[in-house]
Amino acid sequence: MAAHGTLPYFGAVHNLVIFSATIDQAKEQLKSIKDMWDANESLHNVLKLATNRDGSVIANKVDYIAFENSDGHVTHIQAKGAGQSMRGTSKGAENRYCSL
């Protein structure tokens, strides 16, 4: 999803949330995504860690990461465990998100 930035019949995907039974499990799933990206040079050709205007990485944390595709589209991925509060995610006026 991050490589294309869209899903059919959904549109642009700005925010992904990984839900799991515990926050540790959700973090581990996010770590697996990051490890897959780290180990795959082909993915580096289409995705990079998203940066802000001054070149600093937006998010590279154990529970939150952001990738930017070759078209400049940024997808934010957050890890959440059951019982954690979540006020929602948003990117500008866009607050739709895809849950995994």
The residue ranges of every structural domain in the chain are 6-99
- The residue count of the chain comes to 100
pLDDT of residue 16: 83
Main-chain phi, psi angles of 56, to 5 degrees: -80, 140
Q: Give the residue among 6, 2, 82, 71 at the shortest CA–CA distance from 36.
A: 2
Structure confidence at residue 13 (pLDDT): 73
pTM for the full model?
A: 0.76
> How large a percentage of the chain has pLDDT more than 90?
31
pLDDT at 46: 87
Q: Which of 28, 21, 98 is nearest to 63 (CA)?
A: 28
| Predicted confidence (pLDDT) per residue in 17-62, tens digit | 888 999 999 999 999 999 999 999 988 988 899 998 899 998 888 9
Contact 3, 69 (CB under 8 A): yes
